[in-house]
């Protein structure tokens, strides 16, 4: 049996970080060797060694993880990526809300170490994306609307997954994104509505509606537990471990 992939978690005290720890504890193919978070969030009483951002470089050398899984904020991810490149440690990124310049910098890091970035680590979302293209081709000219719902603490809007859905639609149709509607605003043929809701503790819901010809097709995905995303991120870490430097997606994991 192969040695388990040694994983570090950036944002370890957050909800996703803690879910990753719990999910990893139930698996034989990964082991969490350390975590990183802000000084005010560090849990010194925990059983997993935790370090502040200023200590990441030393911790990567001391704890020798194979892969770092990142669920934090863009600013923290960028600092982490530089440290991973220096330490020759692979990176799995689940953080969203990056600017174009940030993505370009991350892609530069992928020339040194393997980097897998995904807006969503759910296999169900990947299945939805795979089904979307054929639906658009079959229902040519149908109106398309996208609706996403997340918990009331989510920072970025629309969600990274919703943006990925829009990118997939763009592969099949030219359109203008309309972020909600207000007042007198009749629908134009060349638009896709992007609607956002924030409420409660919703883990993540994404709905795509295609309507026309007196019929409606709806593609919907709902995550009922964060463990869905944690399992996918850990699958990604195991898959990335040992891979050559490069820019990878969760689709690479699912299709392998």
Catalytic residue positions, numbered? 150, 154
DSSP per-residue string spanning 72-137: S-HHHHHHHHHHHHHHT-EEEE------HHHHHHHHHHTTTSEEEE-S---HHHHHHHHHHHHHHH
User: How would you label 206-226 residue by residue, b for 16+ Cβ within 10 Å and e otherwise?
Assistant: bbbbbeeeeeeeebebebeeb
Q: For 4, list phi and psi in degrees, rounded to 5.
A: -65, 150
**Nearest residue to 32 via CA among 56, 10, 61, 54:** 10
Of 68, 60, 65, 44, nearest to 233 by C-alpha is 68
SS3 154: coil
d(CA 30, CA 54): 25
CB 216 within 8 A of CB 142: no
* Spatial distance between the Cα atoms of 205 and 72, rounded to a whole number of angstroms: 20
């Amino acid at each position: 049996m192969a040695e388990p992939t040694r994983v570090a978690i950036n944002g370890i005290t957050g909800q996703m970080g803690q879910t990753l720890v719990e999910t990893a504890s139930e698996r034989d193919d990964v082991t969490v060797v350390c975590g990183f978070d802000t000084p005010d969030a560090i849990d010194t009483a925990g059983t997993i060694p935790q370090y502040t951002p200023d200590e990441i470089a030393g911790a990567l050398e001391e704890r020798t993880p194979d892969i770092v899984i990142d669920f934090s904020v863009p600013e923290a991810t960028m600092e982490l990526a530089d440290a991973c490149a220096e330490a020759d440690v692979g990176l799995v990124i689940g953080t969203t809300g990056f600017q174009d310049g940030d993505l370009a910098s991350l892609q530069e890091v992928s020339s040194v170490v393997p980097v897998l970035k995904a807006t969503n680590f759910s296999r169900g979302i990947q299945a939805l994306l795979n089904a979307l293209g054929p639906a658009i081709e079959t229902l040519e000219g149908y109106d398309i609307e996208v609706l996403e719902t997340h918990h009331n603490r989510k920072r970025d809007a629309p969600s990274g997954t919703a943006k990925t859905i829009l990118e997939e639609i763009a592969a099949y149709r030219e359109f203008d994104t309309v972020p909600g509607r207000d007042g007198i605003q009749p629908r134009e043929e060349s638009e896709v509505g992007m609607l956002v809701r924030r409420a409660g503790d919703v883990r993540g819901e994404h709905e795509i509606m295609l309507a026309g010809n007196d019929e409606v097709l709806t593609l919907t995905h709902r995550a009922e537990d964060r463990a869905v995303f944690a399992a996918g991120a850990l699958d990604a870490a195991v898959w990335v471990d040992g891979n050559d430097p490069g820019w990878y997606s969760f689709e690479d994991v699912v299709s392998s």
